[in-house]
Amino acid sequence: MNILLLGSGGREHALSWKLAQSPDCDKLWAAPGNPGIAQDAECVALDATDHAAVIEFCRANAIGLVVIGPEAPLVDGLADSLRAEGIDTFGPSKQAAQLEGSKSFTKELCDRAGIPTARYRRCTSLEQAWGALKRFDPPFVLKADGLAAGKGVVIAESREEAQHALSEMFDGRFGSAGSEVVIEQFLTGEEASFFALTDGVSIVPIGTAQDHKRVGEGDTGPNTGGMGAYSPAPVLTQALQDRAMREIIEPTVRTMREEGMPYSGVLYAGLMLTGDGPQLIEYNARFGDPECQVLMMRLESDLVELMQACAQGRLGEIAPPRLSDDFALTVVMAAQGYPGTPKTGGAIGLDGAESNSAKVFHAGTKMAGDTLVSSGGRVLNVTARGASATEAQRNAYAAVDAVDFPDGFCRRDIGQREVRRETHG
C-alpha cells in the first residue's frame, strides 16, 4: 500500500520511521517532511490546507492511507474531505477534533459524560471573566478557548495578574483563540500523558509518557512545546491506567459516538493524578511531540496495521498495540533563542550519534547544499532506549554528546524525576 504522511516535525519523523518498517508499506510519501523523514519517505511539497490538492495527489499516487500528524489540518477538517472521497485516513474528523480545538467543547463534554476534570467557567467577554474570577481561588488557570500552539494557558498567581492576563487574552494576544476563555480550578498532583487508539468504538491503550514543558533545568523558565519526554510513565500504574480508561477515555469515546461525532485516531489525554484519582487536564487529537518519539521507539506492533484498522473501523479485529518493557527517553536539542526567536541556519553534524539504542529524529532541520542546518526552534529529538529510565537517560545523553550543533542547547535533566525514583525508591 502507498501511504501519505502529513507533517514535518520530530513526531512525523518518528511516525515515518515506524511506518516505513511495515511490510504493508510499499511507498511512503511525506508532505512536506524534513531531511530526517527523507530517509524513510519521498518528500513532496503539498499544502495541507488545499484539500483538493491533497485529494488529487492521493488519486494520482494510489494512496491507500493518509496519516495526519499535526492538529491544525485535523481541526481544519482535512480528514473529512479525504473520507468523503473514500480515502482511508488516520485522524479525527473536524467535529471530533474539537476535543483539542476547543477547551469549552471538551469541558462541556466532560459535564455531559461525568468525566472528572477541574471545575470551570466559560467566559465570552472580559466583564464576565473578571466576574467569574470571584468564584476561584489563586492560582488561577486561564485558557484561551481555541488552538494557540500550546501557549494558550496562563497560570496566574494573583487576582491582579489574572485580570491582566484576561485583558490581554480578550485583546487578541492569542488571536481568535482568545475570544472565549475558560477559567479553571487549579489541580495539584503529578501530570502524565495517556495515549489510546480508537476507531470510534474499540479503544486500545498505546502507552504512557511524561514530558518536560519548561525550557530550563529543574522545570524553570518559559513554557515550550516540550524539551524532552520519556515512556513509560510509571506513576501511571496499571490501576490508574484502568481507571483513566474507565472514567475518562471510554465515556469520551462513547459520548462522541452517541452524539454523532465519532472520534477515530489517537486520543492523547493529559492527566493530573490528584488525590481523588486521575482528572482530565486536556485532550489532544494527535500524538504528542516529543511524546510520539518515545512511544514509537517502544512500539513493537505494525503501525500501518494499527492505523489502517483505526481508519477502517476494524480496531477490534486486530491484536492491540504491544510496547517493549524497557524505557525510551528523548532529549530535545533546540536552537539558541527558543522558545523566543530561534537562531536558525546553524550547522549540525550527526556522525556517530546513532547506535543500536539511540536514534536522532529531525524536528526543525533542512539541507543547505550538502550541510544539515537548523530551521526552527526545536531542532533534534535525540532518543534512546534502556532497561531503566536511568539507562535510557545515559544512552540519550551519550548520543546528545556525539551531536555537533554549536548553535543548539538542551536540558541536561530530562527524566530526572524518574531517575531519582529509581535511585532512591
Residue ranges with strand state E in 2-47: 2-7, 27-32, 42-43
| Nearer to ligand AMP (CB atom), residue 16 or residue 102 | 102
**Least distance to ligand GLY, CB of residue 24, Å:** 27
Reading the block at residue 392, the C-alpha cell is: 535510557
Round to whole Å and give the CA distance between 358 and 386: 9
Within 180-199, the residues that bind ligand AMP by CB under 6 A are 184, 186-187, 191
Residue 8 lies near ligand GLY (rule: CB under 6 A): no
CB of 188 to ligand AMP, least distance (A): 7
Query: Phi/psi zone of residue 182: left (φ > 0), alpha (ψ -120 to 50 degrees), beta?
Result: beta
Q: Considering only 281-289, 300-308, 321-329, 357-365, which stretch makes contact with ligand GLY by CB under 6 A?
A: 281-289
Q: Which is nearer to ligand AMP, 272 or 323 (CB)?
A: 272
Per rule CB under 6 A, is residue 235 in the interface with ligand AMP? Answer: no
Is residue 289 involved in binding ligand AMP (CB under 6 A)? no
d(CA 164, CA 156) in angstroms, rounded, equals 9
User: Pick from 138, 113, 134, 112: which is nearest to 123 by CA?
Assistant: 134
User: Are β-strands 42-43 and 27-32 bridged in parallel, bridged antiparallel, or unpaired?
Assistant: parallel
Q: CA 157, 161, 162 angle in degrees (round to 5)?
A: 85
CA dihedral defined by 79, 290, 232, 74, rounded to 10 degrees?
-10
Residue 289 binds ligand GLY (CB under 6 A): yes
The interface partner of residue 318, options being ligand GLY, ligand AMP, none and the CB cut-off 5 to 8 Å by kind, is none
Using an 8 Å Cβ cutoff, are 264 and 311 in contact?
yes
Site string for ligand AMP, 17-56 (x = CB under 6 A): ----------------------------------------
The verdict on 228 binding ligand GLY (CB under 6 A) reads no
SS3 state at 374: strand
To ligand AMP, the closest distance from the beta carbon of 71 in angstroms equals: 12
**Chosen residue from 291, 407, 413, 418 binding ligand GLY by CB under 6 A:** 291
300 in Cβ contact with 323 (< 8 Å): yes
Q: Does 281 bind ligand AMP (CB under 6 A)?
A: yes
Ranges within 135-174 binding ligand AMP (CB under 6 A): 141, 143, 153
| Contact criterion met (CB below 8 Å) for 28 and 42 | yes
Three-state DSSP class for residue 131 = helix
Q: How far is CA 322 from the centre of its chain?
A: 20
Residue 233 binding ligand AMP, by CB under 6 A = no
Residue 150 in the binding site for ligand GLY (CB under 6 A): yes
Q: Which of 76, 211, 413, 418 binds ligand GLY (CB under 6 A)?
A: 211
Footprint on this chain of ligand GLY (rule: CB under 6 A): 150, 211, 225-226, 284, 288-289, 291
Footprint on this chain of ligand AMP (rule: CB under 6 A): 118, 141, 143, 153, 184, 186-187, 191, 270, 281-282
